[in-house]
Amino acid sequence: MPALLEIRGLTVEFATSRGTLRAVDHVDMDVAEGEVLGVVGESGSGKSVSMLALMGLLGSNAKLTADRLAFAGTDLLTLTPRQRRKLVGKDVAMIFQEPTTSLNPCFTVGFQIVEALKEHMGGTRKWRRDRAVELLTLVGIPDPGARLNAFPHQLSGGMNQRVMIAMAIACQPRLLIADEPTTALDVTIQAQILELLTRLQRQHNMAMVLITHDMAVVSETAQRVQVMYAGQLVETRSADELFTRPRHPYTAALLSSLPEHAERRARLATIPGLVPGIGDRPVGCLFSPRCAYATDRCRGERPALYRDPEGLARCFYPLDDSGRPEGVAA
Amino acid sequence: MTVVMEAKGVRRYYEVRKGMLAKPAVVRAVDGVSFTLEAGKTLAIVGESGCGKSSLARVLAMLEQPTDGELLIDGLPTLAQEPDRRVKLRRAVQMVFQNPYGSLNPRHTVGRILEEPLEINTDLSREARAEAARAILARVGLRPEAYGRYPHMFSGGQRQRIAIARALMLNPRVVIADEPVSALDISIQGQILNLLMDLQDELQLAYVFVSHDLGVVHHIADEVMVMYLGRPVEHGETSLLFDRPAHPYTRALLGSRPRIQTGDKTPRKTLSGELPSPLRPPPGCAFHQRCTFATELCMRDRPELRQVEGRAVACHHAETVLAAAA
């Protein structure tokens, strides 16, 4: 199947007062029609920035380069801003972490949904209003006709996130990017929103990129997972494979640091140290200072992404089925 | 074991003005919470946002006075004390907040942040204060250079270590931790939880751990209190509540938490609806509109806490809920 989204060698750099920060470092990503891809990583791993780059939402201090950035065969790099805006918001839509701050507090939610419809779909005023009611019903908002006239501050966080989702799916996008869509919400509401997203995704055969730091959410929702670390893609494979047999030591360490995997009151497995910052990016593998298995080779040389039967891992000594690094003496 | 903190029917109400002439509405943010907490133990308070868990934390930390009820620290009632005695009691309870970016003064060095509690509460000399601050820095796993640095020079996890260090400066008996790890990355979360557990074992600290993360709560807490709309709905030993919840709400919370799953995935049991407005709590049981076990009785009579199979639960149908799970 041809990829709906195809990204090759995406690099985003920010000019800061302390020098150039490479937030995204040669990232590749493919999303097929109707596929759910999970992108996980800690803060600063570049998972949000790479998606903002795709949407053209980066600030003026950002420098974007890519070998290829294509959506449904259209090269986004050569589009004019006007052409790009036709695409973004219609065929590609995004929802954000904080629903209450992503909506405009000065306008009713109805106005904000209709605005998206007007921009991309046209139609009569009556049609747009009916469609907005239909959308609010679809995302499970009770009494949708009356809620169109509500302002974001009159709705709860969960309801606002439903409004955001209604706006995002208003023009039936082929790709939905959900950036931590449930992080700011309570567990009970989180479950409702994820159920809604997966239901819509299936019904409309929409592709989805789900960015999150919550491993459990990814395991439940995504078919394939990409793990990012310090701006680089470090591992990608099917969700089932990743959670049962992680190959990259970072993925394995992340999974074992979850409280669910430890005895009650036992000390949790941790990853020592910190994600490298602007001035202390190691010469070798970016994870080598925190890796339990790092060798001199890891510290001196950057590993490429190596292909294995099930996916890709950026490691000289990927873990075998028993979780031990290959080719390193114990 | 010594009881270091005891709450007896603690209530905290807020008045909300609804215009000039209208009678102010009353929000019962905390409505009758009782528990005893022993040295070296952890009580977790869980619930959705708006359930009153943070308001309760503020009352327990003596930042606010209860509207009604009594809070005892080390067996002494906090309300009946002379002001100077109350200040002494207040030292015994310290707080760690959720956001390590907002809870440290950016204009003060770490040394000054740590020494401030000593400056206010003790008559230690400047040298003794500095020595105490340096000792505590080492204890929470920060390097000595941290003493002269400013909060912005640290990562989130390191800042949370500073916040914990500050809470420990006055040798408290109880630490109230309001979502202490929810703003941190997973790999850092583990480090901070380990530190909290180490400190507890070493200093016999009692924790009141406010959190919505049930994985973390299961790991660290001895006892759990589940709150809904200002009231405790179930309260008991952690493993008991996690293995055999007797309140439909506890059951729903546990059922809706995400789990790592591979292969065939069992969907989460989601709870419909949202927390009702605390300004207009429903009659009867506050949970009845979202509850699958609700009957007419639940719409009419509010259930009181009662003992069922080793835990306190406020539900008319607790036995049915337990039987349904078996």
Residue B84 class from Cβ within 10 Å (0-12 exposed, 13-18 middle, 19+ buried)? exposed
Asked whether the beta carbons of residue A264 and residue B257 sit closer than 8 angstroms, the reply is: no
Please give, rounded to a whole number of angstroms, the shortest distance from the CA of B100 to a CA of chain A: 15
Task: Evaluate if residue A70 carries a pLDDT over 80.
Answer: yes
Q: Is B211 on the interface with A (CB under 8 A)?
A: no
Q: Is A219 on the interface with B (CB under 8 A)?
A: yes
Residue written as token pair 């970072």:
A250
pLDDT tens readout for residues A169-216: 999 999 999 999 988 788 888 888 899 999 999 999 999 999 998 898
Q: Give the bridge partners for B175, in sequence order.
A: B94, B207
Residue A265 class from Cβ within 10 Å (0-12 exposed, 13-18 middle, 19+ buried)? middle
Q: Is B258 on the interface with A (CB under 8 A)?
A: yes
Number of residues written out for chain A = 330
Task: Give me the torsion for CA of B289, B292, B295, B298, rounded to 10°.
Answer: -50
Backbone angles phi, psi at A174, to 5 degrees: -90, -20
Q: Sorting pLDDT into bands at 50, 70 and 90, what band is A298?
A: very high
Number of residues written out for chain B = 326
Asked whether the beta carbons of residue B194 and residue A268 sit closer than 8 angstroms, the reply is: yes
pLDDT at A225: 97
pLDDT tens readout for residues A155-169: 888 889 999 999 999
d(CA A255, CA A268): 11
Task: Give me the torsion for CA of A256, A257, A261, A265, rounded to 10°.
Answer: 140
Q: What is the DSSP string of A282-321?
A: -SS-TTGGG-TT--HHHHHS---PEE-SS-EE--SS-B-T
Please give, rounded to a whole number of angstroms, the shortest distance from the CA of A38 to a CA of chain B: 13
First to last CA, chain A: 42
**CB A319 within 8 Å of CB A246:** yes
Q: Is B191 on the interface with A (CB under 8 A)?
A: yes
Which residues in chain A are contacts of B187 at CB distance < 8 A? 42, 253-254, 257, 270-271
Q: Is B221 on the interface with A (CB under 8 A)?
A: no
pLDDT at A329: 57
ipTM of the complex: 0.82
Which residues does chain B have with pLDDT short of 70? 326
**CB B134 within 8 Å of CB B148:** no
User: Which one, of B212, B110, B252, B225, lies nearest residue B169 by Cα?
Assistant: B110
Q: Which of residues 129-188 of B touch A (CB under 8 A)?
A: 155-157, 185-188
Please give, rounded to a whole number of angstroms, the shortest distance from the CA of B260 to a CA of chain A: 4
Report chain A's mean pLDDT, rounded to a whole number: 91
d(CA B43, CA B291): 26
pLDDT at A157: 85
pLDDT at A1: 56
pLDDT tens readout for residues A89-141: 889 999 988 888 889 999 999 999 999 899 898 889 999 999 999 999 989 88
Please give, rounded to a whole number of angstroms, the shortest distance from the CA of B79 to a CA of chain A: 34
Q: Give the bridge partners for B43, in sequence order.
A: B208, B223
Q: What is the DSSP string of B200-240?
A: HHHHT-EEEEE-S-HHHHHHH-SEEEEEETTEEEEEEEHHH
Asked whether the beta carbons of residue A191 and residue B191 sit closer than 8 angstroms, the reply is: no
pLDDT tens readout for residues B262-321: 887 777 777 888 888 888 888 999 999 999 999 999 999 999 999 999 999 999 999 999
Please give, rounded to a whole number of angstroms, the shortest distance from the CA of B120 to a CA of chain A: 34
Closest residue of A to B272, CA-based? Answer: A192
Q: Give the bridge partners for B235, in sequence order.
A: B225, B312
Backbone angles phi, psi at A278, to 5 degrees: -65, -35
Which residues in chain B are contacts of A270 at CB distance < 8 A? 187, 190-191, 194
Residue written as token pair 């049991």:
B269
pLDDT tens readout for residues A6-53: 999 999 999 888 888 899 999 999 999 999 999 998 888 899 999 999
Structure tokens at B218: 């299961």
Asked whether the beta carbons of residue A244 and residue B262 sit closer than 8 angstroms, the reply is: yes
Task: Evaluate if residue A330 carries a pLDDT over 60.
Answer: no
Please give, rounded to a whole number of angstroms, the shortest distance from the CA of A122 to a CA of chain B: 34
Closest residue of B to A156, CA-based? Answer: B274
Closest residue of B to A44, CA-based? Answer: B185
